[in-house]
Structure 1
Amino acid sequence: MTRLSLTARMSLMFMLAVVSVLTVAGVSFSELSRRHFWMQDQQTITEKLDSIQQILMASNSNLESSHVRLELNALLGAHHELEAVITTTEGIVLFSNSHISNLPTPFSQENADMWRWEHNGRLYRGMTARVGPQSGPHSATATLILDVTSHSHFFMMLERWFWIGLAISAITSGALGVVVVRNGLRPIRQVTAVATSMSAKSLKERIPLAPVPSELQELVNSFNEMLARLDDSFVRLSNFSADIAHELRTPITTLLTHTEVILSKKRCIEDYEENLYSNLDSLNHMSRMIDDMLFLAKSDNGLITPDSTRINLEEVVLKLFEYYSLLTEERGIDLRLSGAACIQGDSLMLRRAISNLLSNAVRYTPAGATIDVTIESRTDAVTLSVVNPGGTIPPEHLNKLFDRFYRADPARSEGESHNAGLGLAISRSIVEAHHGRIWCTSTNGVTAFHLEFPLRT
């Protein structure tokens, strides 16, 4: 079953709304007009009956006098659409100009209500009432009949033109509805056109908001924001792919070179062993890089679910101090901890995140300096800061330090053979998995990495 398009459905709804409004207006006008004519006819007949009553009451009980007949003729004879029959209780006709001889009996009897009668294709309204004295030989009965056929003709013509006008209005409103709806849906067609033309090379296109009506601006804004996110993700993915190729090329090239050299001629067993150990070192480096990339891929897809256990950050940091103690003692670097706090989280993940920060701090701290780790507890969060002296990182690089394979400058790059540049990205993924945040500050030769974890209640 083929479904109607949005333009067709909205146009039909617009046409139905117009037809409904016109129908209600037409029916209301017709009913009000009929009510008006009915009241007008009733008023005309009532006024004539009142005038007849006054004439007969002023006749001094001489209903058959010529003066009464002249007054009745002057009152009723000039109205061609009004027929009247006035007879006394004795059956004497005081006045009659009616050509209707077969008036139904119920209509010829006294009744306070106006009646309606159709005869020979004509429409009549009338009233029969007692006039003159209410009783006695001098009272009379007046039957007034008003020909209202012109009213019915008026309503027939009105009804015919109403249906013709309604049909024309329906067709016109349907056509106008198509034009209005198509113009109103133009921004949606623009969105469709942009979406259809989307490719990896056109993600920077945006739909302008100026010609878009206010009702659709939220939709267009959402679409533009989606394009911005796609563009950002595509750029990151492209850069990530290029960085992976660059990082894997170095160990693979090393493996190939060492293997080609060792196989260029016959060598002793010690040379082969030395080459295998060198290859093993490169393979371990590639294995760690692949594991890190798999971890980040899981993080991007929300597949990291940390455990929720009570962790004493002071104990975690002290154990890491022991791990790095040999390296720091060789370079005369002091490790100093202040503060203590407990949070809910995954012990192994948090140990890895803090270890990456300490590893960077030890690598870039000058010999003989001190690395400070500060733990601060507040009512709503716990903050852990790793502060080390060294070169100042330019402000434009601070927000990019946590991107994969990002290198602010050669002096602070992780381009050594054992560092792939993924440590800070992994730390950020771990912190965000714990609903926290991580950021870096660097001023006056002092660089600090801050981890903030919300306290769960």
Structure 2
Amino acid sequence: MNTSVDALPGYEREPVPPASRRGFLFESLSSRLLVTCLLALALSLAVVLSGIEYVFAHYPAEVFASELIGEAVHRMAKSVQLDTEGRPVSVPTSPKLEEFRAAFAQQTGYQVVDEYGDAVLSSMPMIVSVPHEGGWMTTQRSRFESAGQIFYVETVPIPGTRKPYFLQVVTSEVFDTTLIRLRLGTVPKVIGISFLVAALIFGVTMLITLRRLVKPIREASQAAAGITPQNLTTRLSLQRIPSEMRPLVASFNDALARLEEGYLAQQTFLAAAAHELQTPLTLIRGQIEMQPASGDRHQILHDVDAMSRQVRQLLHLMEASVLQNYEFSQVDLEHVVQDVTAQLARRAAARGVTIETSLLAPGKQVTADEGGLFILLKNLLENALGFAPKGSSVVIMVNASSISVSDEGPGIDDAHLPFIFSRFWRAPNNKAEGSGLGLAICKEIVLAHGWRLVAERTQPGTLFTIHF
């Protein structure tokens, strides 16, 4: 079993419960808007189709046929051919129109009549005799009955003639109904197909538009996920954020400002307290050393040194927690390792432990803060020396992608591994010197550099590995 400190996020966040695909769709703002718009489009289609069905059911076909047939008769009247004396000689029709009229030869026909109602030209056969009574010349559409059937006649004057001539188109009620059914009966199908095409185009367009709209929100969310105590000065940008979301982003920035203010106040207090404690502890040690020797003198000096070490670690923890304190440059790992081992060589010799260095990548350089890297390796090596038994070795190994520190001590229990990087945490029954801040300082330095620190139990001892 092992535990690690990752570069980011670096601090525990509340886990997001896994959601089913269905739940994800309904939780997505884009999906909700898309589904809502498609439902509105479908509802609009249903209303239109219901309206068409209602009109068909409650209004006679003659109401719709009047306008359709009237337009056709006006076009035919303008196309009537005249002789040199201005008399109608023929009514040109298209092959399609003739084919259609032939299919309904008993239900429709046309004729050209003079001002007295006498036929000059007519279709063959003419389906019924048209009555010419009253003001028939000024009535465009009229209705009459013949042989138990209802007929309609459209009367339109022919332009360009010397004497009044009129084109009359006669249709039966059956023909009008059939015509409207043929013309309008396919409307629901056309609307349905149009809806499918419109829904496809609308859906794709809406999806692309929504993705562009929520892109700034996703970017703001990613920026927020990268904010840690090391970079509390970061603020979310309000550029391209929809106006509805700006108050939320602004409130989040305000919360970050208050958090940064509280965090800096905490760090300032920690630094001030540590600085204020350093001088009294130094004076106390000096006063004790000037006193006559006594049986408790050694223990008192030991306690004062332990307090001084804890004050120094508090200062290191404060400095390691603020990203602005780091100055990054190219650092030679071999040089830093030599400095650390040289400083701790006397302590290792006093404990009867040998420090071994294995440089598998000579000349390896990394981008780091040299002081931070020194404290990181020093704390790891001090931790290893604290648990290494007399006569054993502590090994520092440097390769191209990592650096590790291992010892031959009793090792860390698997149950304790998740807690070793917590501040002031000490394992139960741990009699080694320390205040539980050394590995917490390592954690802050690793996070600031974007590295990964892994601790794992070995047989025997413990292995700490820094992955660059």
Q: TM-score per shorter chain, which class?
A: 0.3 to 0.5
TM norm structure 2: 0.43
Rg larger in structure: 1
TM norm structure 1: 0.44
